[in-house]
Amino acid sequence: MGRKGGASVMTKEKKCIDNQKWFIVLRDKLFSPIEPVRTREKMPFKAIEWVAVIGISLFYALFAFGNLGTSDTPQTSMEIPKNQALEFEVPQEAGKISTVCWSYWEMPQESFKVEVRPDSESEWIPVDKFGKESIFGCWKCCVLPGFESQVRIIHDANDVSLREVLLLDFGGNALLPVNSNEYPELFDEQEMAPKEFNSYTSFYFDEFYYGPTAYEYINGLEPFERTHPPMGKNIIALGILLFGYTPFAIRFFGTLLGVFMLPLIYLMARNLVRHRGIAAFAMFIFAFDFMHFTQTRIATIDVYITFFIIVMYYFMERYLNMSFYDTSLKKTWIPLGCCGIAFGFGVATKWTGFYAGLGLAILFFARVIRYYREYRYACSDPEGTTNDMEHGQIIAKFKGNTIKTICFCVVFYVMIPFVIYLLSYIPFVDVNNAGLFDKMIANQKYMFEYHSQANFYNEYTSRWYEWPLMIRPMGYYVANVGGIARQGVYAMGNPLVWWVGIPAFFYTLYSTIKRKAKAPAFLCVGYLAQYLPWVFVSRPTFIYHYFTSVPFVVLMIGYWFLQIKEKTVEKKILDEKSFGALLFIYAVAAYGLFQLFLPVISGETFSIYYVEDYLHWLKEWDFCLRK
């Protein structure tokens, strides 16, 4: 017994010693002294750069704003009390009603019914009933089974506004009812009725929720969409206030921020790789990535969270290359504070902003550790000087500047984001919770329950490991417009961005681990902070969830290509001009693919034979063929 007890004690002591050794090794690795580095000098911004950045941005904007959405939709409205029947009759000589359409802007709480009868002596016959999911859009049409003289619409929702009613004969000609003077607001903008109902003239995909919710914010109505924080819908509402309630208006700011993303990508790439040509290349291939194009032209909130994430990491990258040992502390706080404000706007748009926040925290505390390691280096020779920085000054500044900076971060990454988040709920109406704080808390509970219980699988559902490979593009709008003609808006990536991004990531990860370089480490943290959490998400997911990772994909491609350039030039395989020519050819090829796939990512009309001949690369790339 004594021997066993003694052996047990010795084993525990040995484990304790081993653990201490591991701690010492870890401490020495993480906190070993390192030579202090000065704030990095800024690269001068040349005139040619202004030309490139503005030129690429404007060139892309031509595509982004082209056929974005109609700005001609009915604006006058008529309030319809609950259960009131709207009856319309056309004169016999005018023709018969074949189709009834209406423009309806709010998200209905209940449903609509359409009924018809051949004359005033007959009973009303139900034709179709539209639930709250199917009714909404800029316009909704009900094709009648026959040709009738009288039609009526009945709804059982409260405080509903109809914008316009359109009665069509078999030839698509508008018919004016004899009692149109009873509903003047419903027949005063007939010329605004579109000839075709499609993604240009109507809302599609989740615009059905975000557009009406923004409209409800403006008008003090209880919002239908409550599954995400309000900031994204607040921005959509700004478009409505500027341009009216139209497809163009709800998409405007998302498309504009899609353009603004491009200079930010250029600046971030420029700061990371210190190469103007590579930065312009990264900016260009991001501009003509399919996901960037499609996702910024639809009025959903993913464009806003992606924009704020780019802003966050741009300013964090700037902060990481500054040092409070040789620069005014308050000056280092400028990019750090801007990053925190962008973080606040991000989480107030979508909870995935917290993923970005985790990456920012890793980068920030890595910088704090580096400050400490530089401090230890200075302590080894208090009278010395390194890189024109006196060790005595480093020793004197470390503790105070570190504590002040951490306190600054508490304000700008906790308190201010909380205030931004709370204030985003000002236009949010909750009939059960009038107070700003109360309705915010109540909605957090609702959002958590919704996302934890979400179970909406469909044919476009895809897992995280499928996204970079683009196994399953997502159809936002799919329509058969007759014969072999189709229309569609699909979310996917440019193969020369997404597929090439896979080896680029592994090379960047390798450089982080083996070379311990700062630029690839920054990119890996940013990319994995957005991508890795989806590995653990069990709810249904879709390819557009990868959009927040795409900015880091193009930056990793830029970093990888720079390393290739340096090695090929060093070994005299290529010279600078030859490599620049190859980059140009690659960018042109990426643009060529953008043009090739443009019909299926923009809503244009195309032939099924075009898909079969040129686009059906993979099994699931059967754009509209099944429609």
Tell me, what DSSP letter sits at residue 348? T
Task: Identify the three-state secondary structure at position 174.
Answer: strand
Does 588 have pLDDT greater than 80?
Answer: yes
Which tokens is 157 given? 């929702």
CA dist., res. 481 & res. 34, Å (int)? 66
Whole-number pLDDT of residue 498: 98
Whole-number pLDDT of residue 79: 82
Tell me, what DSSP letter sits at residue 104? E
CA dist., res. 337 & res. 217, Å (int)? 29
Backbone angles phi, psi at 230, to 5 degrees: -80, -15
Surface-to-core class of residue 453, CB atoms within 10 Å of its CB (0-12 exposed, 13-18 middle, 19+ buried): exposed
Which tokens is 52 given? 């490139």
- Regarding beta strands 150-155 and 137-148, do their DSSP bridges make them parallel or antiparallel, or are they unpaired? unpaired
Mean pLDDT of the chain: 89
Does 598 have pLDDT greater than 60?
Answer: yes
Higher pLDDT, 4 or 544: 544
- Regarding beta strands 474-480 and 485-491, do their DSSP bridges make them parallel or antiparallel, or are they unpaired? antiparallel
User: Length of the chain in residues, anyone?
Assistant: 627
Out of 44-48, 287-291, 480-484, 497-501, least confident range: 480-484
Which tokens is 506 given? 């592994």
Whole-number pLDDT of residue 12: 55
CA dist., res. 445 & res. 91, Å (int)? 55
pLDDT average, residue stretch 152-160: 74
User: Considering only CA atoms, which of 148, 85, 139, 138 is closest in space to residue 112?
Assistant: 85
Cβ(560)–Cβ(281) below 8 Å: no
Out of 348-362, 389-403, 477-491, 536-550, least confident range: 477-491
Which tokens is 191 given? 């010329």
Higher pLDDT, 424 or 204: 424
Question: Cα–Cα distances in Å, from 335 out to 262, 320, 322, 340, 379?
Answer: 19, 9, 10, 9, 29
* Residues 6+ positions from 269 with CB-CB distance below 8 Å: 278, 279, 282, 283, 554, 555, 558
Whole-number pLDDT of residue 499: 97
Out of 49-58, 124-133, 279-288, 395-404, least confident range: 124-133
Does 5 have pLDDT greater than 60?
Answer: no
Q: What is the pTM of this model?
A: 0.90
Whole-number pLDDT of residue 500: 97
pLDDT band at 197 (very low <50, low <70, confident <90, very high): confident
Cβ(427)–Cβ(238) below 8 Å: no
CA dist., res. 473 & res. 620, Å (int)? 7
CA dist., res. 55 & res. 69, Å (int)? 24
Higher pLDDT, 195 or 568: 568
Cβ(296)–Cβ(287) below 8 Å: no
Whole-number pLDDT of residue 106: 62
Does 307 have pLDDT greater than 90?
Answer: yes
pLDDT in tens, 511-539: 999 888 899 999 999 999 999 999 999 88
pLDDT average, residue stretch 545-554: 97
CA dist., res. 502 & res. 175, Å (int)? 57
First to last CA, the chain: 79
Out of 89-93, 184-188, 303-307, 418-422, least confident range: 89-93
Whole-number pLDDT of residue 75: 80
High-pLDDT (> 90) share of the chain, %: 59
In CATH, which of 2.60.120.260, 3.30.2020.30, 2.60.40.3120, 3.30.70.1350 is domain 78-193? 2.60.120.260
Does 133 have pLDDT greater than 50?
Answer: no
Out of 11-15, 28-32, 227-231, 532-536, least confident range: 11-15
Whole-number pLDDT of residue 134: 46
What are the start and end residues of each CATH 2.60.120.260 domain in the chain? 78-193
Higher pLDDT, 27 or 436: 436
Out of 18-22, 151-155, 431-435, least confident range: 18-22
* Residues 6+ positions from 6 with CB-CB distance below 8 Å: none
Surface-to-core class of residue 152, CB atoms within 10 Å of its CB (0-12 exposed, 13-18 middle, 19+ buried): middle
Distance of CA 134 to the CA centre of its chain: 25
3-state secondary structure 474-520: EEEEEEECCCCEEEEEEECCCHHHHHHHHHHHHHHHHHHHHHCCHHH
Does 135 have pLDDT greater than 60?
Answer: no
Task: Identify the three-state secondary structure at position 567.
Answer: helix
Cβ(601)–Cβ(296) below 8 Å: no
pLDDT band at 132 (very low <50, low <70, confident <90, very high): very low
Whole-number pLDDT of residue 129: 61
Higher pLDDT, 517 or 255: 255
Question: Which amino acid is located at 68 in the chain?
Answer: L
Whole-number pLDDT of residue 394: 93
User: Considering only CA atoms, which of 175, 177, 194 is closest in space to residue 73?
Assistant: 194
**Range among 114-118, 312-316, 537-541 rated most confident:** 312-316
CA dist., res. 108 & res. 82, Å (int)? 11
Does 136 have pLDDT greater than 80?
Answer: no
pLDDT in tens, 571-580: 878 888 888 8
Cβ(177)–Cβ(89) below 8 Å: yes
